[in-house]
Structure 1
Amino acid sequence: MPATDFTPTTYGAPMETWEELVTSALLGTDRRPLRPTGGAAGGPAALLDAAAVHTVRRRAGLRPAVGAALPAPAPDDPRPALPAAARDRLAQLLADRSAPPGGGRRGTAPDLTELIPQWLALAGARGFRPPAELLPALLDAARARTDLRPLALAFAGPRGLWLASLNPEWRFALRASSRVAHRPDTEDPEAVRRLWEEGLFAERVALLDAVRERDPAAARSLLAATWSTERAEDRLMFLDSLRARLSGADEAFLEEALADRSRNVRSTAAQLLSALPESALARRMAARATSCVNPDRTDGAVSIAVEAPHECDPAMQRDGLVPVPPSGRGERSWWLGQLVEAAPLDVWRETFGGRTPQELVSLPVADGWAGELHAAWCRAAVRQRDPEWARALIGAPSTPPADGPGTASLAERSTLLSTLPSGERALWVAGFIAAHGLSEAFQLLGVCAVPWDGPLGRAVVDALDIARDAGSYPWSFSGVMGLAERCLNPAEADRLAVLTTTPDEPEGASPGAGGYWSEAFQRLVSTLRLRAAMDAELAEDGQEGNDDGTV
């Protein structure tokens, strides 16, 4: 540094404060030179010297701060530690979850990100606890993917919640767990009352669910005590809790809710009452519906005559009918659909002389009302969880959807299938695929239990094999192939290995299609084998390592 008559110690004088030094630094010493007592104006070097003196002085004058309190130790997790191989597999899955997806061809390697939910479900079902060193990566994965959160947080356990409380980025874990973490002993009336009156909304919802599970009448009384003071959105959520263990004892409370000032609350109350066939609302809806839909014996043969409502009066609106239809819907058909949907399905057997649901959906419907009537029956069968009506409206799987007895909509068929036992559901979808292929089966596969049972799995694989032999590219089947990777029984891997070879391309086939199909089947087989390995690793006896990864 060049010699100057301006010494650093000169700038300890009170006339040059830290703020003045900052001003000189911002404006420049040419425009705002330093003016020490008894000395010449200083340049940039002098400014730095003065800043250094002030910095040392400020640091020397600081008093030691009181150290922050250490967090409480993490709670114990009594679940057994993962086997070593399963711990390594979890580390691999979590490390790969952020890998960027490949463009174009997916290759033959399994998509590990799609296997994380299955791994978590298996580990959770077998009661293992996660390794402590993998908890941050597990919470990060749950933060990035909301679909992982229920499984990830259940697996993370009390240590995961403890760790989440120390990082603001993981606050979602505390919110999601509040239903369980703050649930009081429902056997203690005073604790229940205090939490109901003072708790956060999520805590109160969890409390209502817990009390409802133990004592439905007590939960209803709890809700009635504060009903008039609750917000509309809260009343709606609380009312939804009554779906569990719904019975005729809830009717009086739900009838009062029909007069609620919130339209959504009124609609939910009406929906719950219509699920009680003996309720007064169900009887009112039955009377209205049967005044609109009746047998017609004009030509000797029985058919269905429909006369849709001409108005939606206040009494109908009080019972949950929405008067204004969506865009594109006629008013009368909209009102008719709501009436039929809310009427007990048994009323149609009485109205039409004891005919079965299969016979009723096969009757001709006058004046083009068949689609509206059958769609309303579909919604009623789902709402009332009536498998007999669902079977009638779905029809035989071999029947083309457009010619079916009930509904041609695959979305409506999917919801109807959900009312059937899982085995019957899988057999129906297998029959549908065998008759119509995979192009229309994606929605139907989504409601089948996992892993797919033998007939359904074989039907899917056979249909994929037929599509491969047709010589087209597999792009249009990528969704089904992805489902198969996650839902097929892993034991099918060996049987599928024969499909991994590249077939001879038939005349007129798309160029290179055989190679793409071979690649897709290789990925399917390798994914199934990886799923089998995951299951075996979690089934290992004994613990080969500790939470910290040591042996």
Structure 2
Amino acid sequence: MASSTAPAEAAGRLARTSWEELVTAALLGTDRRTPPVTAPGREAPAALLDAAAVQTVRRRAGLRPAPAAERPAPAPDDTRPVVPAAARHRLAALLADHPHSGGGRRGTSPDLMELLPQWLALANDRGYAPPPELLPALLNAARGRTDLRPQALAFAGPRAQWLARLNPDWKFALRTAQGGAPAPGLRDADRAERERRWQEGLFAERVALLASLRAHDPAAARELLMSTWTTERAEDRLMFLDSLRTGLSEADEPFLEQALGDRSRNVRATAAELLSTLPRSALAARMADRAASCVALDRTSRIPALTVEAPHECDAGMERDGVAPKPPAGRGERSWWLGQLVEAAPLAVWQARLGGRSPAGIVALPVTDDWRGELHAAWCRAAVRQRDATWARALLGVPSSPDAAGPGAVSLAERAKLLTTLPATERADWVAGFIDAHGLSEAFQLLGVCAVPWAPTLGRAVVDALNIARDAGSYPWSFSGVMGLAERCLDPAEAIRLDALTAVPDEREDASPGAGGYWSEAFQRLVTTLRLRAAMREELDA
């Protein structure tokens, strides 16, 4: 009798055992927690797994059907034409490629993932829509690479945000403005609906709403932000304030002046930075007065020179206007404060202050007491912040200058930033001249800020410099970064000139071992990539 009732008793114990008890025992381990169900002749771990299997079947069999969820609204229409068939297949291949791992990339095959941004740019220029079946792969690619997101979301169109609301992995699409265009429905939303979305939306949706509205109605976006400013968290205020960079104007000054008193240091610093880009703002005038009191023209010597008297303290007014009082490690306080004042002062103040000299004339003046580097570095940052091409040219100097860092910039990184203020053609010509004078080893950062595809003068300079390095037997791996840039940026028409360089050259006795083979592989990959880029363009133009 007892033996016949044992299975029934075991089944009853299992029925009374909760799934949570089984999970707890599994997490703690059967050595620390005795399983709630045991079986004769079975060790505790096996008994636990048996019980979990049975319980899983019981849970599935006993599951009651729930009410059907509300069907999602249909995806918005995309009126743009879908890319041609050949371009569709190309996009699928680009999205299916995987990043290379390990050391330096070898072989002659192009790196397809690095061509994806250019493909997207070409498709967007032509006003194409994506094939619907490739949208998930496109959003997955953009999720892993932030540099892809602006182009990918512009190409994905209105369905990107629709999909993002169904999959949290793609939530970045909710907070990224698509090429400055408003999210679906925002342009025509009335004031009440807009405010409702601002009050009730998720953080990412609020950022997208503010950025979208700012691009088309800056005043309305500012008013929306001001309506809840005092109740927002500090980190949210910082993100919202950053959206004012779009369409920044003097109308924003009163609000930004108010933000200078914010309890968050980061918010205060961002407000001060924005105000300093408005040359007629009250903060710019205050910074101009402070900076001008620190720099003067010494007329007593035979050769005019600049004298510098850095601030002796960071007072409350300076701190309120965004001057960080504590310098980073290894930096003197006075030089730290001086740099911030000069950086935030309108550049126009210096011509009036220094005898009406041009920016080039000011940069050429000697600076006493070793303040030249600090002063010129601050002027570099000011020229970049204020997008002043005249000052940028003066600080850049001629590309053939013996000093690769130039007359004003303290590093090649500063020169690269200054170049961004110049027109694309002038920028390319300047970098081409720099390569002719200094070679490629110093030019990598400068090449990265040039427009794509590179202008003919720049492309020829890069190819000639690579050819010289190859013939000289230079260590080839040191040029791998430039080769990677050339694959993405060189005009595909240059492929004809490069064909002659794909052969393995005769190696010099002093050349690096295996250099000839590497150069041959690199040039073959470059030629193959350029021809692939030409094919991509033809497919999208079909």
Give the aligned partner of residue 81 of structure 1. Answer: 82
Higher relative contact order structure (alpha carbons within 8 Å, sequence separation ≥ 6): 1
Deviates more, 1:287-296 or 1:503-512: 503-512
Q: Say whether residues 1:110 and 2:106 are aligned partners.
A: no
AA in 1 matched with 2:313: E
2-side partners of 1:196 and 1:60: how far apart?
45
Using the TM superposition, give the Cα deviation of residue 221 of structure 1 relative to its aligned residue in structure 2, in angstroms.
3.2
What is the match of residue 28 of structure 1? 39
* CA positional deviation for 1:431: 0.4
> In the alignment, is residue 145 of structure 1 matched against residue 156 of structure 2?
no
Kindly indicate whether the alpha-carbon contact (under 8 Å) linking 1:183 and 1:207 is maintained by their aligned counterparts in 2: no
Is the CA contact 2:87–2:540 (under 8 Å) kept in the aligned structure 1?
A: yes
Matched, 1:19 2:1: no
Alpha-carbon RMSD across the aligned residues, in angstroms, is 3.3
* Residue number in structure 1 paired with 2:342: 340
Give 1:278's aligned residue. 280
Partners of 1:60 and 1:319 in 2: how far apart? 68
Tell me which moved more, 184-193 or 227-236.
Answer: 184-193
Tell me, yes or no, if the aligned pair for 1:401 and 1:408 is still in contact at 8 Å: no
User: For structure 1, which segment, 429-438 or 154-163, has the greater mean C-alpha deviation from structure 2 after superposition?
Assistant: 154-163
Letter in 2 for 1:410: L
**SS of residue paired to 2:106:** coil
Contact residue 296 and residue 302 of structure 1 kept, 8 A: yes
Contact 2:158 2:184 in 1 (8 A): no
> For the Cα contact (< 8 Å) 1:183–1:203, is it kept in 2?
no
**Which residue in 2 is equivalent to 1:135?**
135
Q: Determine if the alignment matches structure 1 residue 235 to structure 2 residue 237.
A: yes
Based on CA coordinates, which of the two structures has the bigger radius of gyration? 1
1:91 is matched with which residue? 92
Out of 310, 319, 333, which is 1:331 matched to?
333
Aligned to 2:457: 455
SS at match of 1:305: strand
Out of 203, 206, 209, the position equivalent to 1:204 is: 206
Please tell me whether the aligned partners of residues 183 and 206 of structure 1 are also in contact (alpha carbons under 8 angstroms). Answer: no
Give the distance between the partners of 2:241 and 2:98, measured in 1 at CA: 39
Distance 1:118 1:240, change over 3 A: same
Q: Deviations 1:81-131 (Å, cap 9, x if unpaired)?
A: 222211221222222226x54655511111112112211222232222322
Matches within 5 A, 1:130-529: 130-174=130-174, 176=176, 180-181=182-183, 184-185=186-187, 188-401=190-403, 404-529=406-531
Change (3 A) 1:96 1:62: closer
The alpha carbon displacement at 1:260 in A equals 1.9
| Larger displacement relative to structure 2 (105-114 or 387-396) | 105-114
Q: One-letter code of the match for 1:217?
A: A
CA pair 499-157 structure 1, distance change in 2 beyond 3 A: same
Q: Which residue of 2 aligns with 1:38?
A: none
Find the residue that maps to 1:261 and give its secondary structure: coil
Q: Is the 8 A contact 1:97 1:141 kept in 2?
A: no
Q: Does the Cα contact within 8 Å between 2:256 and 2:271 map onto a contact in 1?
A: yes
1:21 deviation in Å?
10
**Please, which moves more after superposition, 376-385 or 277-286?**
277-286
**1:155-193 deviation line (CA, Å, top 9, x unaligned):** 233445545544454444455479954662367222233
Q: Distance in 1 between matches of 2:57 and 2:445?
A: 71
Distance 1:353 1:136, change over 3 A: closer
CA distance in 1: counterparts of 2:164 and 2:211, whole angstroms: 25
**In structure 1, C-alpha distance between the alignment counterparts of 2:477 and 2:390, rounded to whole Å:** 38
Residues 195-247 of structure 1 deviation map (CA, whole Å, 9 limit, x = unaligned): 33333333333333344344433433333333322222222223223323333
Question: Which range moved further: 175-184 or 120-129?
Answer: 175-184
- TM-score w.r.t. structure 1 length? 0.84
Report deviation, 1:70. 5.6
* Residues 15 and 298 (structure 1), Cα distance of their counterparts in 2 relative to 1, 3 Å cut: closer
Note the C-alpha offset of 1:150.
3.0
Structure 1 CA distance for aligned equivalents of residues 203 and 312 of structure 2: 43
Counterparts of 1:113 and 1:212, CA distance in 2: 33
Question: Is the alpha carbon distance of 1:19 and 1:459 closer, same or farther for their aligned partners in structure 2, counting shifts above 3 Å?
Answer: same
**Structure 2 CA distance for aligned equivalents of residues 444 and 293 of structure 1:** 31
Shift of 1:133: 3.1
- Report SS of the residue matched to 1:327: coil
Instruction: Report if the CA contact (8 A) 1:402-1:408 is conserved.
Output: no
1:39 is aligned to: none
Query: Residue type of the partner of 1:17?
Result: G
The alignment partner of 1:184 has SS state of coil
CA positional deviation for 1:406:
1.1
Normalized against structure 2, the TM-score is what?
Answer: 0.86
Instruction: Tell me the matched-pair count.
Output: 517
Q: Kindly indicate whether the alpha-carbon contact (under 8 Å) linking 1:473 and 1:517 is maintained by their aligned counterparts in 2.
A: no
1:84–1:298 distance in 2 versus 1, CA, 3 Å: same
**Residue in 1 that maps onto 2:536:** 534
* Partner Cα distance (1:449, 1:57) in 2: 64
Q: How much does 1:533 deviate?
A: 0.4
Change over 3 Å in CA distance of 1:416–1:473 after alignment to 2: same
Aligned equivalent of 1:35:
none
Cα pair 1:378 1:416 within 8 Å, conserved? yes
Unmatched runs of 5 consecutive residues or more in structure 2: 18-33
1:299 CA displacement: 1.9
Which is worse superposed, 474-483 or 291-300?
291-300
Moved more, 406-415 or 437-446: 406-415
Equivalent-residue separation in structure 2 for 1:344 and 1:299 (angstroms): 28
In the alignment, structure 1 segments of 5+ residues that lack a partner are: 33-43, 541-551
Which piece of structure 1 moves more, 233-242 or 109-118? Answer: 233-242
CA distance in 1, matches of 2:243, 2:172: 23
Q: CA deviation at 1:425?
A: 0.7
Are the counterparts in 1 of residues 177 and 211 from structure 2 also a CA contact under 8 Å? no
CA contact (8 A) 1:86 1:538 kept: yes
TM-fit CA distance, 1:257: 2.1
The structural deviation recorded for 1:275 is 1.8
The residue that corresponds to 2:22 in the other structure is none
Q: 1:27 is paired with a residue of what secondary structure?
A: coil
**Segment drifting more, 322-331 vs 248-257:** 248-257
